[in-house]
A = this chain, B = another copy of it.
């Protein structure tokens, strides 16, 4: 096998390897978010049996941000290569044992982004290795559906995105465009609005809020004027998003401004899921109902009051379909460990329009989801081949 090493020193360990840890080869799954990058290595599992529980993970490696929009392309690529080399070393494995790689990285928004990453992955791995490049949202979905691409995922951490797939292979996304382009429901969005509220209270444009003393205290600043210098001293989105727990505490303590910010975030996050569900018809075909005809008409009346209400030409309401679909929920903003439960509020809001929504909190991490995506693909491929 011809080696296409571009970065000799990273892959040096391979020459020292005497054995391959997993006889049937391994799969790499990588989740590259705005804050950190996680890569896992799992053995290639049998296609004919149910997935084992727990899943066998040979090794896990972590690195920093690999979003090329945030750190630039060279740094992003170095981080990705480094973390893959590390997970192979830790697994006592090497590139020739790899059967498939799934790189799920944030900042992949366009086929050209995908192709650029595929091109350099191709240079690193032997020709027979199957390569997949996806937005990190796709791996998050797979982490909740154990590799199946069906349903919708909502990520809300530092950033936010909503991504959906139908069983027949159509896909759609909403949000995920970063802080400049209106991802207001994200951790960054929530925190930036809290900082804005402090500035507005200080200069007389907005109401007083408990956020002022909380935020100044934690940042060790003496006046809201100093927030400006603090904000622009470091462009990292994650540093701003780290203030979210403080906004939640203030809201829980009854601060109205903090509560409004969280309610707005819930509305934004629910909107991005609903946009995806609507475009893909994930809830099934839309149906015509009249209040008289339908059992549970009072419930339909309830749907009717919301923004998704539609009327047919005779003014009879059209309800959304009732089909169930999984909604995988991922990210610090949606974690259900607080009294003010943002994730739960988002589900309630979606449920009003799409009662078939079935929320899933994944038991494995997105990097494992990425590996399961690759495994599912190899499985389909093996099923398509005639038996030998």
- Bound-state Cα–Cα, A272 to B196, Å: 13
Q: B199 near A231 (CB under 8 angstroms)?
A: no
Would you call A150 an interface residue if the criterion is a C-beta within 8 Å of the partner chain's C-beta atoms?
A: no
A residues 85-124 near B (Cβ < 8 Å) are 109-110, 113
- Bound-state Cα–Cα, A199 to B113, Å: 18
A residues 184-231 near B (Cβ < 8 Å) are 192-193, 195-196, 199-200, 203-205, 223, 225-229, 231
Chain B nearest CB from A67 CB (Å) reads 9
A223 contacts across to B, CB distance below 8 A: 110
How often does this chain occur in the complex, in copies? Answer: 2
Q: What 0/1 pattern do residues 227 to 253 of A give for CB contact below 8 A with B?
A: 111011101000010000000000000
Would you call A294 an interface residue if the criterion is a C-beta within 8 Å of the partner chain's C-beta atoms?
A: no
- Bound-state Cα–Cα, A279 to B228, Å: 21
Would you call A69 an interface residue if the criterion is a C-beta within 8 Å of the partner chain's C-beta atoms?
A: yes
Partner of A177, one of B110, B199, B235, B272: B199
With a 10 A CB-CB cut-off, give which of A110, A179, A276 has the most chain B CB atoms: A110
Would you call A254 an interface residue if the criterion is a C-beta within 8 Å of the partner chain's C-beta atoms?
A: no
> Which residue on chain B has the smallest CB distance to residue A205?
B275
> Which residue on chain B has the smallest CB distance to residue A69?
B232
Q: Contacting chain B: which of A8-16, A46-54, A167-175, A312-320? A: A167-175
A180 contacts across to B, CB distance below 8 A: 179, 192, 195-196, 231-232, 240
Q: A174 near B205 (CB under 8 angstroms)?
A: yes
> Which residue on chain B has the smallest CB distance to residue A184?
B196
- Bound-state Cα–Cα, A177 to B196, Å: 8
Given A203-B174, A223-B110, A279-B204: A181 and B231 within 8 A (CB)? yes
Give chain A's interface residues, CB within 8 Å of chain B: 69-70, 109-110, 113, 172-182, 192-193, 195-196, 199-200, 203-205, 223, 225-229, 231-233, 235, 240, 271-272, 275-276, 278-279
User: Could you list 6 further interchain pairs (A-B, Cβ under 8 angstroms) beyond the known A179-B180, A205-B275, A235-B235?
Assistant: A70-B232, A109-B228, A110-B229, A178-B231, A182-B193, A204-B278
28 contacts across the A-B interface (CB closer than 8 A):
A69-B229, A109-B225, A109-B228, A109-B229, A110-B223, A110-B226, A110-B229, A174-B204, A174-B205, A175-B203, A176-B228, A177-B199, A177-B227, A177-B228, A180-B192, A180-B240, A181-B192, A181-B199, A181-B228, A181-B231, A182-B195, A182-B199, A203-B272, A203-B275, A204-B276, A204-B279, A205-B275, A235-B235
8 nearest A-B pairs in the assembled complex, by CB-CB distance: A182-B196, A204-B275, A69-B232, A174-B203, A205-B275, A109-B228, A177-B199, A110-B225
